[in-house]
Amino acid sequence: MKPLKKKSSVILYACSGLGVNMLNVIVGSYLCSALLVGGFEKHVENWTYLNKDLVVAGLWAVLIVVAKIMDGLIDLPLSHFVDNLQSKWGKRKTAIVMGFFPMITAYCLFLIPINTTATYLNTIWFGFLLLVYYTSYTLTMITYYATFAEVSKGPEDIVLLSNTKSICDVVYFSLGFALVPAFVSMGLNIRIVALMFLPLALTMMIPIFLLKENSENADKKAKADRTKFKDSLMFTLKDKPYILWLCTLFVMNIGLQLFLSGINEYFSTSGLNMTFVMASCFVPVPATIILYNKILKKHGLGFAFRYILIVFSVGMALMGLIEFIPENLMYPYAIGCSIIVSFSIGAFFSITYTVPSARAATRKELNSDTASSMYYAIQGLFEGTSAGIASGVILVTFKQNGLVPIMTVCVAAVCMAAFCMSFMLPNAISKIGKADEL
């Protein structure tokens, strides 16, 4: 693989995943919820496909969990597949194309129910499409992330690539949680809105034009030195500090994903315009990350992690009191809560890269012959499973039983449970990032 020569090319390359990430937000936070009416009170005809249930709630909850778990499990074999793929067009380009087109197809078909009522056929149909979508999405993005080190000439390019990608993350979350609700409130059905953002997925074609691969993949030494899948998996699972981190992350991610996947229902029941409130969550993120980084360098990841959990929990708990606030003060109050949340939301994005990267570096220092990329795959499994529990089991239960108004309080409670668990993290994790430890 030839590295990118121009800084402008590095910046452009970092923007490649923006559109696909945006589609993933729409699927996970809007389209899955749009199949059930429960939980919506305003603009129900636009937040849902046909203003009525289209899936059987119990089975749909199970299928979402299965799809999310598969999304995590599939990281393991797909990462191995991508590294071993051989193609005359280049293995990275080929893998991206192999994932991209099935992903787009599944995304479009997800907008079309087979029946116009809640049937088992509809439910199985959407469950199948969800599996296809997450599998192809994972193949596309895991290949893209695998090229970061390959397209960089050195540490400076890696930093530039990572910083630009973080900005893109803020952009697509802002679009997803601010602009989408704005379109829905204007009278556009969520299916129309989903199609409006579909062209953004073409940003994933940027690597096809920028990647300069050895088309014959003739590096025999690299192939001979490649780690066996089983060896890499077992090495990672025996890393006790990392497993403790993953258990804490698992609980934290349930709260975060419940917030991200159910926030549109929450604002529907509260009567607030989601656009302005969610913009307050994401617009300040670049500035709030600066504070997080200072805390990280001074106290280490354990303290910084507890800081963002406390801040997020306080913001969520205060937002749960919105119904007790006078109507004329509801918007300023909600925006204030969102600004509090912004001091943690950006750090949540970055911390999931920090820990596996640090453990991978430790593995390299030990001169291990196992592949460090398995850290990211294992973490993906934990995140996928916890996301399935949040958006499949908990959110569907809340929607069907009228519990959406207490959602943010539950998010706060779950994150406080993760806060308590974080005190069990060993120094190998809690001291990551501390200046005097570097």
pLDDT at position 221 is 45
SS3 368: coil
Matching residue, tokens 């059987």: 56
pLDDT at position 387 is 86
List, for residues 371-415, the tens digit of each pLDDT value. 556 777 788 888 888 988 998 889 888 888 888 888 999 999 999
Instruction: Compute the C-alpha angle 152/155/212, nearest 5°.
Output: 5
> What is each CA distance from 170 to 122, 263, 280, in whole angstroms?
34, 17, 12
Q: Which of 10-14, 119-123, 235-239, 276-280 shows the lowest per-residue confidence on average (mean pLDDT)?
A: 276-280
List, for residues 247-266, the tens digit of each pLDDT value. 999 999 999 989 888 877 78
Matching residue, tokens 């910084």: 304
List, for residues 78-115, the tens digit of each pLDDT value. 877 877 777 777 888 898 999 999 999 999 999 999 99
Residue 244 has pLDDT above 90, yes or no: yes
Residue 44 has pLDDT above 70, yes or no: yes
Would you give the distance in Å from CA 367 to the centre of its chain? 31
Tell me the pTM: 0.72
Mean pLDDT over residues 303-315, rounded? 94
> What is each CA distance from 279 to 18, 28, 256, 276, 298, in whole angstroms?
18, 19, 17, 5, 30
Residue 225 has pLDDT above 50, yes or no: no
Closest-CA residue to 312 (of 242, 416, 384, 201): 416
List, for residues 319-328, the tens digit of each pLDDT value. 888 888 888 8
Read off the pLDDT band of 55 (50, 70, 90): very high
